[in-house]
């Protein structure tokens, strides 16, 4: 561990066992790895140690990977982001969370439903482009759109596009004990090695809004596909024009502005903390995952945890302290 990251290390060391049972932190500066460390174990009782290459339920960080596939398709002329895809709703609307689709749905109302059909027929709660409504349903619709465009299952499409051995939907049964457990609920008991999100679970573990499992390295790699071009480093997945467009405001919101898939820093109350610049882009996942990148500092940090293991608490303060400490470490 580099001595300057002692603050990051102390913060996560103290949080381990109370805020989460296991975590991996990874920090890159100037496109280079400068800090990576694992903490804790996969569960509070008979858990296995967490390592830097441990796979986590990425939760809503899945949205970033799915958005990247659609953005790549736009760059290649496969899809027009501004052409209607579902009624008046365009792919850009879905990516920017201003499609008018509802945020989600109680899974108990979906047990006997075809969820794809539900998503595409559920009445809108706002007109397209009227306002930002962070929507799982919108990203389920993106998954449906991608499968229609490519005539392939979303899981196979993600495997081909990203070609990363540690990233994918539906981990094998033999891997499950090595994946940090999440919440215990009355429906499934302690959830471990299968997707925590109930809607994605009902869709067989593969959905546009949740379901991917991966490592901190996988998430950092994706962030570099955007941060790199913005800082003059070429990547093979997206051209600079799309990287810039995806991290530029597409829909205004006083709490958290929206790019194409990415959230954009709006206030110092956001989970990236006070020190990340207003150019920063990132995302969080319900189970306790997050990534933020700051083009001004050429800095990105990934924090994967299973915080929901201890209940549905807001860990924004922990995230903000982590990202503040990352900036302090490289200042």
Q: What is the pLDDT of residues 298-314, one digit of tens each?
A: 999 999 999 999 999 99
Number of Cβ atoms within 10 Å of the Cβ of 141: 24
Range 320-325 average pLDDT: 98
Interval 183-215: pLDDT, tens: 998 899 999 999 999 999 999 999 999 999 999
Q: Which of 213, 222, 284 is nearest to 54 (CA)?
A: 213
Q: Which residues are CB-contacts of 54 (< 8 A; sequence separation ≥ 6)?
A: 22, 24, 38, 42, 178, 179, 180, 215
Domain ranges of the chain: 3-57+210-330
pTM of the predicted protein model: 0.97
Please report the pLDDT score of residue 1 as a whole number.
47
**Which residue did the predictor score with more confidence, 110 or 283?**
283
> Residue 275's pLDDT band (boundaries 50, 70, 90)?
very high
Pair 140, 133: CB distance under 8 Å: no
Pair 177, 243: CB distance under 8 Å: no
| 167 has a pLDDT exceeding 80 | yes
> Residue 109's pLDDT band (boundaries 50, 70, 90)?
confident
Range 157-183 average pLDDT: 97
Q: Which of 251, 308, 296, 250 is nearest to 272 (CA)?
A: 296
Question: What six digits make up the tokens of 152?
Answer: 């392939």
> Residue 260's pLDDT band (boundaries 50, 70, 90)?
very high
Please report the pLDDT score of residue 149 as a whole number.
98
Q: Which CATH superfamily is domain 3-57+210-330 in?
A: DD-peptidase/beta-lactamase superfamily (3.40.710.10)
Q: Which residues are CB-contacts of 293 (< 8 A; sequence separation ≥ 6)?
A: 223, 226, 227, 280, 281, 282, 299, 300
Tell me the pLDDT of the chain averaged across its residues: 96
Please report the pLDDT score of residue 3 as a whole number.
54
Pair 137, 102: CB distance under 8 Å: yes
Share of the chain above pLDDT 90, in %: 94
Interval 18-70: pLDDT, tens: 999 999 999 999 999 999 999 999 999 989 999 999 999 999 999 999 999 99
Would you report the helix, strand and coil content of the chain in percent, each value rounded to 5?
Answer: 35, 15, 45
| 294 has a pLDDT exceeding 90 | yes
């Amino acid at each position: 561990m580099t001595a300057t990251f002692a603050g990051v290390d102390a913060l996560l060391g103290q949080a381990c066992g109370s805020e989460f049972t296991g975590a991996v932190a990874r920090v890159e500066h100037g496109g280079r790895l400068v800090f990576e460390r694992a903490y804790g174990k996969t569960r509070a009782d008979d858990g296995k140690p967490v390592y830097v290459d441990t796979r986590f339920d990425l939760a809503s960080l899945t949205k970033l990977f799915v958005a990247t596939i659609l953005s790549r398709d736009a760059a290649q002329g496969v899809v027009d982001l501004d052409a209607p895809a579902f009624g008046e709703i365009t792919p850009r609307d879905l990516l920017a969370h201003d499609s008018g689709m509802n945020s989600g749905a109680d899974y108990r109302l979906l047990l006997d439903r075809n969820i794809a059909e539900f998503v595409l027929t559920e009445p809108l709660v706002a007109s397209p482009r009227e306002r930002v409504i962070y929507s799982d349903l919108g990203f389920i619709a993106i998954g449906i759109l991608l499968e229609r465009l490519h005539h392939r299952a979303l899981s196979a499409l993600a495997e081909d596009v990203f070609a990363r051995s540690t990233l994918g939907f539906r981990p094998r049964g033999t891997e499950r004990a090595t994946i940090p457990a999440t919440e215990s609920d009355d429906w499934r008991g302690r959830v471990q090695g299968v997707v925590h999100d109930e809607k994605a679970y009902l869709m067989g573990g593969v959905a546009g809004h949740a379901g991917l499992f991966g490592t901190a390295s996988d998430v950092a790699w994706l962030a570099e596909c955007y941060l790199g071009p913005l800082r003059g480093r070429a990547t093979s997945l997206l051209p600079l024009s799309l990287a810039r467009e995806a991290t530029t405001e597409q829909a205004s919101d006083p709490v958290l502005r929206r790019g194409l898939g990415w959230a954009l820093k709006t206030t110092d109350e956001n989970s990236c903390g006070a020190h990340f610049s207003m150019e920063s882009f990132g995302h969080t996942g319900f189970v306790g995952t997050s990534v933020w990148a700051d083009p001004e500092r050429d800095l990105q940090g990934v924090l994967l945890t299973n915080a929901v293991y201890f209940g549905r608490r807001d860990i924004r303060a922990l995230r903000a302290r982590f990202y503040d400490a990352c900036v302090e470490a490289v200042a």
